[in-house]
Structure 1
């Protein structure tokens, strides 16, 4: 039997919160160790999948394959405390395009002027987009208590 908590977000509230510009912490399972946890920039639109970028040769990239279940958490640490945590499988590892993905992501986090400058200042990379399908949600909205 599931207990309903007064602080739980509705589906619309949780998706809206996750779609806001926040730095997420992703947790990726590892054999014989605790999960790798690291901050990431991410992209989410309500009702869809969530994605973030990394290089396949990075620790994150080496640990994720299609089907790997990961968790991702975003929060607002200012009172009243609020968070959304999602869990789900990597459903696709997609090509990453500088103009279609990297620059829009940088603009999302750094603004229209600084974002493109940041990306164009980086050397070309072999980054991929790791796309996760959110299946399980945990939420808390402290303003509802």
Structure 2
């Protein structure tokens, strides 16, 4: 049996609550930058994440125009989804969307508290939109169970 996820499995997994690792080409011959980040994804859509417009990662993303992104499950059965995609746009971060991300990642009470502490900063952030184009997946559970 294959350990590759089906399209439905991969999209369901990527839509779950995980920390993603964003990877973008480095500048001036440096290695790629890889950083953990909150993200949003709805099956069949674009990957989104927010960052400061003045950050090093944002400068690298603008220069490269494409990213790599990996999401993993750290508990057994291990699995991951990795994608490569093209940046399709940048827009001011929607505060309500970021509030939902805060609750998604931290729970209702802690998410609201966290968002209240940063809501003035969120208005200065940029949301990056990425169209997934190439996928790699692995589901260790299929190997063990299969």
**Mapped pair 1:113 → 2:113:** no
Q: Which has the higher helix share?
A: 2
TM-score normalised by structure 1 residue count: 0.91
Pick aligned residue for 1:44 from 41, 46, 51: 41
Unaligned runs of 5+ in 2: none
Equivalent residue in structure 2 for 1:20, among 13, 16, 21: 16
Structure 2 counterpart of 1:65, from 62, 77, 80: 62
Structure 1 segments of 4 or more deviating over 3 A? Answer: none
Name the TM-score, length of structure 2 as normaliser. Answer: 0.90
Deviates more, 1:12-21 or 1:106-115: 106-115
RMSD: 1.5
On the 8 A contact 2:99/2:111 being kept in 1, the answer is: yes
